[in-house]
Each structure stands twice: as structure tokens, then as C-alpha cells.
Structure 1
């Protein structure tokens, strides 16, 4: 996989990748240098990136845990907000649900149960500017897509359904690594830096390829445009998945 990713050539900014094959049990992680001209300061699956809208999966997981603890279901209003937040990445909906989980403190408490590190949300910043790592995002995906999870079967199914019905204009990202024509099951995030005007572009989800089910995370920053970031995410995800499933 490293040879495949090194072979992609130069790129702007940096990225971190993590892949876990639920079929074979194999996993891999990779971090690019901080710029296309740097040969040092490589990133890793434990270096932090701005979450942007991929944190919305985490917010919903926290909300579902709170409902489970009460022995309750989400209200119709909460379900509508959750649908808007995941399927069309509505920020107003995310802000309302962020308040319902008690913000940063609620997310930290949920993440302790979901297997994420405290670095994920331990800052006094808006939800979109929380920091995350590729390894934490794999942990979150495992909580959503495997039975080894504090989320019950109904909660996992609900999250998977929303991630599998994202709006057409957001049908990009790690889904490019899946089998042709497969329905994407993912959540993307994108955010420009107000100072540098460079972009963070992230994508997380599950793909099926050649009989394998794989959790895939690609986090990027320092991208000159959103489109450049999307292209990098899709190239990286595809190269990594192909290398992992085809390695004897």
C-alpha cells in the first residue's frame, strides 16, 4: 500500500489515511509528508486534523447513546434534525443537536465509550473545528459498522441508513474506492481556513471491493481548493483499498 500511495506523485498539503478490512482483519495506516516538496515531517494516523462535517457522525452517535441510556427513542424532531445533518450536512441541524448532547463535554463523554481518544473533541471550539485523527475515525466507524460497539443494533442501523442515503451532490470521497455502481455509505467534511484560505477535506465510510468490506478514512488539510481536496481523497482511498485487497 505504501508503494501504491508513494506512486501517486506530488500533492498539496498533507493527508492521513487509515483502512481496516473487516473481511480479512487486516488494517493499514499511512501519512503523507506535510507538503509535496518535503521529505520529512510525515503525518500519521494519530496526528490531528480539523474535523469539519465528519464530526456530525460522532454527534449523532452521542445523541443515540444518550437515548439508549434513557431507554428512549429519538423524537420525530430529533430524527428530522439527524437526517438533515447527515444526509445534506445541514449545519443548523448539527448546531441544535450539538446543544442536545451538551456540546464538547457530551461529545467527550460519548467518545470515551466509543473508543476515541480525548484529543478528538477536547477543545473549547465550535463543533466543526474540533480535532480528530484517522485512528479515532476508524474507532468511530467500528462502533457504527460492527457489533463490537456500545451502540445497539437499532442505533447502528439508523446511522448506517443515513450514511447510505447522502444527497447526490455529496456522493464523493471514499466511496470512489468501492465497487463500480455501489451505493456510497459515508460522511464527508470540508472547511476553508479563514486565515490561509486553504481547505480541509475529509471523508469516512465503508466500501465493498472484491468481496471485502473495508472501513476507510482519509483526512486532509492545506488544500488549495475543495475540488483539489476531493480529488486527493478519492485517489488516496482508491489506491489504498486496491492495494490492501489485492495483496496476498
Structure 2
């Protein structure tokens, strides 16, 4: 059902999309697309989760510097802050070790310090969202509250993606134009409240001809996934850009 509903997204502009959606109150979920995508800046949630797991193992809270750097990394998607925290967690090895604890089985850290080239699946990003938002998590309550707070205060110009289907949301987006193809990878993941319920949604995509097209495709995929889970007709709004 979800695959059929998402076909118009793939057919318009060549965008390849993967989606995972869960309604935690009922356990209903749907996943479309097993392929891996580059994370771009959605990797920053994974980096922060790894940092918090490191601090938990060391029996401490984040330092003032770690906290302010993490805030800039998530809320403003600051790449220099991500570079610094990537080094703090031990780079690719540190992220891989954290992902064993988080239960991410199909996520491979980016090579040579390129955290934005980390490859992941929509299903793995849904697993990460559950670790961020649910009580049964390797992340402590204070760690989860920190990530949730940052994801709920994204800079206004970055408040797109999974927020398209919700009135209240916490999210992180990623966007990257590939140098060879000039096509865009556009991703969004987070928690949204809609239709009287709460949903975790992860949408990963690549191959969009423009950034605006990719954002529109991701938002269309988000709405389609949530409506499919609710058993209501998916939207028919065109993909723009």
C-alpha cells in the first residue's frame, strides 16, 4: 500500500525515496525502500547520540562546550560544530561503536572524516528516533530530553520536511548536492503530532534535480506515509521545484 502511494514521488523528477513511519501508541508502522542513502546532516542526531552515550559511560554530563557545540550542530546545522563533535566521539570508529548500542544495523560511518557521507536506511533512522524519544532506550532520560529540546528548536529556515504533516514537531533535516551528478540528497527525520496522534517519521531521498524539488518530494512522502498508516487518502498536491 505504501509503495503504491509513493510511486508518484519516484516518478516525478527521478527522486529515489525511502520512508519509515511508526505510530508508537498503536505500534502500527510501515517501511518502504531498503536501500541505503547518504545521511547529509541528519547524521548530526547520530553524532549527538554517540556523544551522549560516551558521556554516560564516563559517568558525567556534557561539558558547557559540548552542550553549546551540540546546540549549534542540531539547531543551526552548523558543520564546524559537527566536525568538532565527530572528532570528540572518535570519528567513524566511535560512531560505529555507538550504533551497536543504539541498534542501528545498516548504518556505515562516512569515510575519511566525511560524516555527511555516512550511509543509512530509513529503518535504521526509525530505530534512532525510537532511541531518542522512547523510555526504553540506551540513552538516559536527561540525554533524550537534551536531543528532543534541540530538535524542537530548529532554525526557522530549516523547519521543513517531516513537519509538513504535523502541528507540533521535533526534527532534523539534511541536504547535500552531489558534486558528480549535481543531484540532491534531501532527508528529514523526527517526531510529529498529527491527526490526534504522534508519529515518528524518517524520509531519505536522493536524485532530486533541485533542493526545492527534493524538499517538496520529502514533504509529499511524509504526508503520504502518515495518511497511509491512518488509512486515509494520501494528498495529491504536486511536487514543486
Q: Structure 1 residues 7, 199: closer, same or farther in 2, change over 3 A?
A: closer
Does structure 1 conserve the Cα–Cα contact (< 8 Å) formed by 2:184 and 2:208?
yes
1:109 aligns to what? 97
Which stretches in structure 2 are left out of the alignment for 5+ residues? 233-241
Deviation track 1:72-98 (CA, whole Å, cap 9, x = no partner) reads: 011111111000000000000000000
Aligned-residue Cα RMSD (Å) equals: 1.5
Q: Which runs of 4+ in 1 moved over 6 A?
A: none
Does structure 1 conserve the Cα–Cα contact (< 8 Å) formed by 2:9 and 2:217?
no
For 2:168, what is the secondary structure of its paired residue? coil
For 2:230 and 2:25, the matched residues in 1 are separated by: 10
Deviation track 1:117-156 (CA, whole Å, cap 9, x = no partner) reads: 1543274451011101111101100000101210000000
Work out whether 1:87 is the aligned partner of 2:75: yes
For 1:167 and 1:13, the matched residues in 2 are separated by: 26
Does structure 2 conserve the Cα–Cα contact (< 8 Å) formed by 1:209 and 1:245?
no
Offset of residue 26 of structure 1:
0.6
For 2:74 and 2:208, the matched residues in 1 are separated by: 23
Does structure 1 conserve the Cα–Cα contact (< 8 Å) formed by 2:170 and 2:192?
yes
- Which residue among 190, 197, 201 is the counterpart of 2:186? 201
For 1:120, what is the secondary structure of its paired residue? coil
Deviation track 1:163-217 (CA, whole Å, cap 9, x = no partner) reads: 0000000010011011xxx233100000000111100000000111122211101
Which stretches in structure 1 are left out of the alignment for 5+ residues? 31-43
Work out whether 1:69 is the aligned partner of 2:57: yes
Q: Structure 1 residues 243, 156: closer, same or farther in 2, change over 3 A?
A: same
**What number of residue pairs does the alignment pair up?**
230
Does structure 2 conserve the Cα–Cα contact (< 8 Å) formed by 1:120 and 1:133?
no
1:53 aligns to what? 41
Work out whether 1:221 is the aligned partner of 2:222: no
